[in-house]
Amino acid sequence: MSLIPSLLGGRRRNVFDPFSLDVWDPFKDFPFPESGRENSAFVSTRVDWKETPEAHVFKAEIPGLKKEEVKVEIEDDKLLQISGERNLEKEDKNDRWHRVERSSGKFLRRFRLPENAKMNEVKASMENGVLTVTVPKEDVKKPEVKAIEISAVKNISEDVKEGAFGKLATASLLLKKLTQLLNCFICEEKNFISASQAAFAISRQH
């Protein structure tokens, strides 16, 4: 069994996409000979796809195949391909067949994986005729949670009140100063008028 990168050119139209409604024909890619010894149960091998919190897991039942006869290939654009071939047993001209029921032929399955698949960490194993392909998933980053401090309404009101009182006190102080200045000006003006009248009276006496 091999696990190798693959660039399969213009064959994307045959990709099996679990999220689309397209139907993939497993016989389309291979010109199988018409033979009674070619078993469709093998060429249409079914694959289970399970997603766990850590990985995508694929399982395919391929009894009778050696691991050297199975290929697991990956592509850069999130494509996983599982294929295999079981050749017919070489016939001897002296042999006489009474029944042939073992399946033979080729199979090919392709899957488009989600964006969270780690294509460079794919692992494959085969045991008791079951192929298992494990594709780890990217770690999901937890969103950062930032706590926002909540100010009490009482504090806000007090700040507003303090600001208003402060402005009022300042205005009152300014008004007081202006009143004092105005009073001084009036007093000085009265004194000036009185002095002028006295000077005028003296001048008339002479």
Domain definitions of the chain by residue range: 2-136, 150-206
Task: Look up the pTM and report it.
Answer: 0.49
Span of 61-75, 80-94, 160-174 with lowest mean pLDDT = 160-174
- 17-46 pLDDT, tens digit each: 444 333 344 444 444 444 444 444 455 688
Q: In Å, how far are 67, 93, 165, 168, 178 from 171, measured between CA atoms?
A: 94, 121, 10, 5, 11
Tell me if 119 sits within 8 A of 78, measured CB to CB: yes
Q: Which residue has the tokens 């099996």?
A: 16
**Strand, coil or helix: 158:** helix
Q: How confident is the model at residue 6 (pLDDT cuts 50, 70, 90)?
A: very low
Tokens of 137: 């998933």
**pLDDT higher than 90, residue 125:** yes
Span of 11-15, 40-44, 91-95, 198-202 with lowest mean pLDDT = 11-15
Span of 9-18, 92-101, 150-159, 169-178 with lowest mean pLDDT = 9-18
53-90: buried (b, 16+ CB within 10 Å) or exposed (e) per residue?
eebbebebebeebeeeebbbbbbeebbbbbbbbbeeee
Count CB-CB contacts under 10 A for residue 111.
Answer: 21
Which CATH topology does 2-136 take? Immunoglobulin-like (2.60.40)
